[in-house]
Amino acid sequence: MGMNEILKGKVKTLFETDNPEEVLIRYEDCVTAGNGQMIEYPKGKGTICCLMTAMLFEYLESNSIRTHFIDCPSLDTMRCKKLKIAPVEVICRNIAAGSIVKTTNITEGFLIQPPIVEFFLKDDSKNDPLLTPDRVRLMGIHTEPLIEKARNVNDLLQPLFLLCGIDLVDFKLEFGYDAHGDLFLADELSPDNMRLWSKDRTERFDKDLFRKGEGDIVEAYKVILTKLRQFV
């Protein structure tokens, strides 16, 4: 199989394959934060994030959510449907943390009922600003299907993590369209793009450990992968 690099992202590398309708995504042993200002290379991280994403995408697929995932030709690489990725990050929040706490008077830990869905521009050069739904529409993107899909994903993932004794605080999704304009969930689903707190709120198992210098992310991500394997 050919392995021509198409794009090198911060923590994933995209390759073309012999099939023009597919791409390979290799998860690197790398973690970044602060728009690339913090960077480390934790051994084994790529494989854990790839395996967890594959497991969760398969779970979502089995519950009628279409994703770009096809299979894993190796432990750190996913074969995916080639899509045109919408330039927005879709964030779903169940509990207040991170940017919503920094930019509003809502305090960390506040239960967000019902959960909210927000849009951020996917553009590091502009620091990924928060968008209004009107601005997203002006960008030519239909917001309703993205909001509905994000809520569906939340409705499936929140109870799954609860079985593991974990609160799904928030998460980021990316979406893409195939040649027919059909919508698919894309990118990644791992503790790199979600916040995961123990139910008693004494432990965190996500990238905030790295962002705040509070612990070993590989060990924390392994705990989540092991817990999920009991239920998926």
- Rounded to the nearest whole angstrom, what is the least distance from the CB of residue 187 to ligand 5GP in the complex? 8
**Look-up of token digits 């392994």:** 222
Q: Is 12 an interacting residue with respect to ligand 5GP (CB under 6 A)?
A: no
- Site mask for ligand 5GP (CB under 6 A), range 79-98, x = bound: ----------x-x------x
For ligand 5GP, the nearest residue by Cβ is 98
In angstroms, the CA 38 to CA 11 distance is 12
Q: Is 172 an interacting residue with respect to ligand 5GP (CB under 6 A)?
A: yes
DSSP 206: S
Distance from the first to the final alpha carbon of the chain: 30
Q: Which is nearer to ligand 5GP, 17 or 99 (CB)?
A: 99
Q: What is the dihedral of CA 200, 201, 206, 212, to 10 degrees?
A: -150
Interface pick for ligand 5GP out of 13, 207, 210, 228 (rule CB under 6 A): 207
Token pair listed for 48: 């854990």
Q: Helix H segments across 83-177?
A: 99-103, 133-138, 143-163
Interface pick for ligand 5GP out of 51, 192, 221, 224 (rule CB under 6 A): 192
User: Which span (20-28, 144-152, 193-201, 223-231) binds ligand 5GP, by CB under 6 A?
Assistant: 193-201
Q: Which is nearer to ligand 5GP, 3 or 162 (CB)?
A: 162
The amino acid at 73: P
